[in-house]
Amino acid sequence: MNLIEAKKIKKSFGRLEVLKGISLQVSEGQVVSIIGPSGSGKSTLLRCLTQLETADQGEITVCGEKMMWTESGRAVYANKNTLHNIILNVGLVFQNFNLFPHFSVLENLIDAPIRIRGISREEATQRARKLLRKMDLASKENSYPCELSGGQQQRVAIARALAMQPRILFFDEPTSALDPELTGEILKVIRELAQEHMTMVIVTHEMAFARDVADHVIFMADGVIIEEGTPQQVFENTQNARTQAFLSRFS
């Protein structure tokens, strides 16, 4: 089953057309990495798929529920209830962690499950502690985000996203704000999630990671998908001049 099905997504900011008809599918258990130059529309695409931004045209279906479609050239969104049900399936991890600074680590993890999913405090706390152990953060549950390293904060952010039990997890450059020596601990956590068959879409500038972790790689530039395929096709056998030029910057 496809957890994400997006067809011909278009999005402009004023006169700037940022997404020029992007289509993608993500099936259950699949890991998709999205690579491409800065400004090519990767974040905008993730934001459109996760309801942080409205698309202008196209069609988006999440976990079998139609989220948006196009009528007479205009975007139509599902009703509030449907959008709420859809967003419960989806987790998002940002570049800058976006933790609640005035909440402890534990509170960061239990707030949404209690408030939005209606889980009891006891159950939410139990689950949160399990996730913190998994992220090697068991001793930090009473710390505040400002007391943690960037790598620890990002692991809390990943645990917080997982605490909502999403069916699909999106990452927007999860290591870009980190010192290089902290990048590895985040990539390791995401690799472990991949081994557990978590469905993920990962925007990243870590090319070796994008190649190793993904089942499917998408190369975007200027609001279009230039090339996509298996990691081997895109990273080793590309015949596409734009892909070659982009990848050569990293070697």
Q: Which residues bind Mg ion (CB under 5 A)?
A: 42-43
| 90 near ligand ADP (CB under 6 A) | no
| 204 near ligand ADP (CB under 6 A) | no
List the single partner that 174 binds among Mg ion, ligand ADP, none, CB under 5 to 8 Å by kind.
none
> Rounded to an integer, what distance in angstroms lies between the CA atom of residue 194 and that of residue 190?
6
| 18 near ligand ADP (CB under 6 A) | yes
Give whichever of 102 and 250 is closer to Mg ion, judged by the CB atom.
250
> Rounded to an integer, what distance in angstroms lies between the CA atom of residue 37 and that of residue 205?
9
CB of 82 to ligand ADP, least distance (A): 25
| 10 near ligand ADP (CB under 6 A) | no
CB of 153 to ligand ADP, least distance (A): 21
Give whichever of 39 and 64 is closer to ligand ADP, judged by the CB atom.
39
List the single partner that 250 binds among Mg ion, ligand ADP, none, CB under 5 to 8 Å by kind.
none
Residue nearest to Mg ion (CB): 43
Q: How many residues bind ligand ADP, per CB under 6 A? A: 10
CB of 13 to ligand ADP, least distance (A): 3
Interface with ligand ADP by CB under 6 A: which residues? 13, 18, 36, 38-44
